[in-house]
Structure 1
Amino acid sequence: MKIAVYGATGMVGSQIVAEAVRRGHEVTAISRKGTPVEGAAVVRAAELGDADAFREIADANDAVVLATSPDRTGGSREPYIAAHRAISTVPTTARLYMVGGFGGLATPDGTRIKDTPDFPALYKGESDAAFTAYEALRDAGADLTVQAPAAVIVPGARTGKYVTAVGVPAAGDTISSQDFAVAALDELEQPQFRGTFFTASN
């Protein structure tokens, strides 16, 4: 399979690249600076909001993984949202696979976790932006799957073991970025959650 990964040098994106390469897929690693990524067949620099570049990349791959995240340094998150709106207008046959946020999952009564009273204010803006970006792609009718992590995602061990749930949190509060990538590649290779907003946790 040919897989393009935006955000290929980040904590999650780099692990998705590594897992895809481990399984023998042809990977295009995309970052703003075009930083080399071990194992990638193609490395290129591109901004996610560059619709022409996105069209070219999507046309050349079977799946495009969106592993970018909203600004976490206090800057505006509008460019992140605008980038997703820009690519939502690009017709493509490639499957879009978005790394979503835990806050986009729902409680049993249907409330988004990001909108619950106990959700940390520190992460509220980031979660709102990530969900708005997801809505832009969803509403445009993209062949979109979103995988959210558990409440905590950190680098750790690749155990290959995880549990999943659709729309709501899965059992377990954490997941390693390595196992998140395992779940992502399992889904890309053998789809079970196509078109859903699902989550994986250890």
Structure 2
Amino acid sequence: MTRRNEAARQAILTAAYDLVGEIGYSKLSVEGIATRAGVGKQTIYRWWPSKGAVLLDALLLTVGGPAGDLPDTGDLEADLRTILFATVDEFADPGVDAVMRGLIAEIAHDPGLAALYAERVDGPVRELKRRRLRAAQEAGQIDPDLDLDAAVDLLWGPLLSRWLQRAGPLDHDFAARTISMALSGMSRKM
């Protein structure tokens, strides 16, 4: 990609991220993104099929995509606190909140965007979570027969649900209680 194209790409992603925070997803348009970025809307459609796809890339640019393994200090509870507290902090960020809510709304109606999100975000992140829990199984910290996908949902599902529905405070205390309850359910069978 040429420098000019990369500059335009960055301007588009920044414009989309900023605009969704200012006006909300329902009012966000490709035309508005193009105007803010100083490009033609055809430039956006050359690289992305929809405003949702632009937002996905804007989110990945801002918070980063899945990278490396999750913390593994040998203390599963401490590691989960680090990970879930970071998740709570991301949800509390107004920019991330606006972009994620927009993406979730669009994913519900756009199977192509849902597949792209699953491929680029949810699938890789879920694998990182399973890998960390698998290491805990191998270390004898949790039940060796535990369904790892169910365990991932048990740990992260309450945070996502509370955030999505705005159903009470989503803070470190809630995350810590979720971890404690989940770990007691995942403990090794005697």
Q: TM-score, normalised by structure 1?
A: 0.29
Higher strand share: 1
Higher helix share: 2
Larger Cα-atom Rg: 2
TM-score (norm 2): 0.30
